[in-house]
Structure 1
Amino acid sequence: MGLILPLRIVQGVLALVILGLSAFVANWYNMDTMTSSPSQINFLVFVPLWSFISIAYLELVPRFAPRASHPWAAVMFEALNVLFYFAGFIALAVFLSKLLFCRGSVCAAARADTVLAALQFALWTGTALLMAKDVFKTG
């Protein structure tokens, strides 16, 4: 599957960008407001970290420790990323839609975070379908 490695690279880069945007918004809430950062933002700090763990398992374990690699574990990692990004971008979009005002660099970062999380959802869905197809085909 020559398509998977470039998709993993894109997933890793987007996860890094989402982590940076989420951390920026969380830092703004924690430092410049009287409230702590919303759970929706905190969740989108966690999800890219989970993606890094998933990418490491999905790409490195089959190459360097093939006995530790299991096809159903790979499908599980893929499916959890799909669910996490879906929940994350929907929750943040709903949170942003309920704000009374949303301006400035923090709001733009949160909106970009939502869009990139939706893109990650699409990418992880695609690789999850490819992985599930491969697992069901080979057994």
Structure 2
Amino acid sequence: MPHHNLHHLNWVLPVRIVQAVFAIIILGLTAYAINVELSYSWYSSDTVNFDLFNSIWTLVVALPYLSLVPIFFASLSHIYIVLAAEIVTMIFWFAGFIALGAFLPPPRACHGGVCSSLQAATVFASFEWLLFAITTGFTIRLALQSSSGSTGVHAKTSGVQPAANV
């Protein structure tokens, strides 16, 4: 397993925390909009539902795998699964914020709590996509530099060292 220098990777864990915070914010904003929509109809927008799904996916699947698995289950951490999680999550956020931006009316025509919350969700989702684009690019670079699918590469993508086996 090649040795990796981790001194320049102190930014990864804080980025993962910001990704989680943004996902929680988007979860709240989209859940509010869906709740209001469902209070007067049986229909909820697929676009808004997709961004709610993105938040749940990020909080339940992507971030736990990308952040916690290398700490507690380093043997389950594989660079190709990391790449897949990063790329899929980045694509989900890109599709979600673009679709939500296209779904909303222009700002001058957007009045009321639901529209304002969806505007905010769109902005946070675009920043969430940007953060995942950055970490995805970083992970791709590490995968290309790696000569094997070792877990040492994954430690760089999570910003933490794996737990020592006792």
Matched, 1:81 2:89: yes
In the other structure, the counterpart of 2:158 is none
In the other structure, the counterpart of 1:121 is 129
Cα distance in 2 between the residues matched to 1:56 and 1:43? 20
Cα distance in 2 between the residues matched to 1:59 and 1:7? 10
In the other structure, the counterpart of 2:34 is 26
Q: Which amino acid aligns with 1:117?
A: A
TM-score normalised to structure 2 length? 0.78
Cα distance in 1 between the residues matched to 2:66 and 2:45? 31
Q: Which runs of 4+ in 1 moved over 3 A?
A: none
RMSD of equivalent CA atoms: 1.3
Share of identical aligned residues, percent? 35
In the other structure, the counterpart of 1:36 is 43
Cα distance in 2 between the residues matched to 1:132 and 1:50? 21
Per the TM alignment, residue 115 of structure 1 is displaced from its structure 2 partner at its CA by 0.7
Cα distance in 2 between the residues matched to 1:82 and 1:46? 13
Cα distance in 2 between the residues matched to 1:55 and 1:135? 19
Q: Which amino acid aligns with 1:68?
A: L
Cα distance in 1 between the residues matched to 2:42 and 2:56? 24
Matched, 1:51 2:55: no
Q: Which amino acid aligns with 1:29?
A: E
Structure number with higher helix proportion: 1
In the other structure, the counterpart of 2:104 is 96
Specify every segment of 5 or more residues in structure 2 that has no aligned partner in the other structure, as ranges: 1-8, 148-166
Cα distance in 2 between the residues matched to 1:35 and 1:107? 19
Tell me the secondary structure at the aligned position of residue 97 of structure 1.
coil
Cα distance in 2 between the residues matched to 1:95 and 1:46? 17
Q: Which amino acid aligns with 1:20?
A: G
Specify every segment of 5 or more residues in structure 1 that has no aligned partner in the other structure, as ranges: none
Cα distance in 1 between the residues matched to 2:42 and 2:120? 22
